[in-house]
Structure 1
Amino acid sequence: MGRMEIVYGVLVVLHLIGWAMVLGGALAGLRTATLTPGAFHGVLTALVTGILLVGLASSGVAGHEPNNVKVAVKLVVALVVTGLVVVARRRPEVVTSGYLGGVAGLTALNVAIAVLWR
């Protein structure tokens, strides 16, 4: 395993941790209708590491050639989740249990796309 494969693996782990932080932050706040601050950091981590992973895979230095349609769908979902989390951070009064359910559902959808779309 080369150095870039190790970097790629570390980025995958950080990417998954980022999405776990978003999902956990949304689910933890369902009862009180608040989004935890960790969700904001998690979504930024997931977004940045996802972009880096696609860059590494596309360049051929690590990973395998990405499915660009899958990447585009995942990016759109990730940007929607990022937007929802940023709005929730700036305007906490708009956050409801349904809002957090949407964040959690879209996060789960993004993970499902990553795992199930081959």
Structure 2
Amino acid sequence: MDIVYRLLVVLHLIGWAIVLGGTLVNLRTPKIAAGVLHGVLTALVTGILLVGIASAGLAGHEPNTTKVAVKLLVALAVTALVLVGTRRPEKVTTGYLGAIAGLTVTNVAIAVLWR
């Protein structure tokens, strides 16, 4: 199960990388790239699976529930912004994309810096 856990971590990081990269690439012409929605959903689903596997004691270490809750809220905010931007492209501005990128970086920083 440890291999599955590690592969999920890789997929989780790739998902966030897609969100950040796809957002930064489109800052000049504000729009949500097609892959950003897939990236955020990948990050969200793999994050939930990672917490489930770790909480069950199958792999990893016991997760910090407060940290997980904060990361989930940020991930849900990013997901909501991406969904709205995908369905209503006229709402997407440079600031809108900046919010998605900023929240994505915040989520990664929480993962790395919060012990």
Structures share a fold, TM > 0.5? yes
Residues 1:97 and 2:100 aligned together: no
Query: Which residue of 12, 15, 23 maps to 1:15?
Result: 12
Aligned pairs (5 A) from 1:1-118 = 4-118=1-115
1:60 CA drift (Å): 0.1
TM-score, normalised with respect to structure 2 = 0.99
- Write the distance in 2 (CA, Å) between the matches of 1:76 and 1:51: 12
- Write the distance in 1 (CA, Å) between the matches of 2:63 and 2:45: 16
What stretches of structure 1 move > 6 A for 4+ residues in a row? none
% identical aligned pairs: 73
- Write the distance in 2 (CA, Å) between the matches of 1:103 and 1:55: 26
**What are the Cα deviations for residues 33-71 of structure 1, in whole angstroms up to 9, with x where unaligned?**
011011000000000000000000000000000000000
Unaligned runs of 5+ in 2: none
Unaligned runs of 5+ in 1: none
| Amino acid paired to 2:7 | V
CA-based RMSD of the aligned residues comes to 0.3
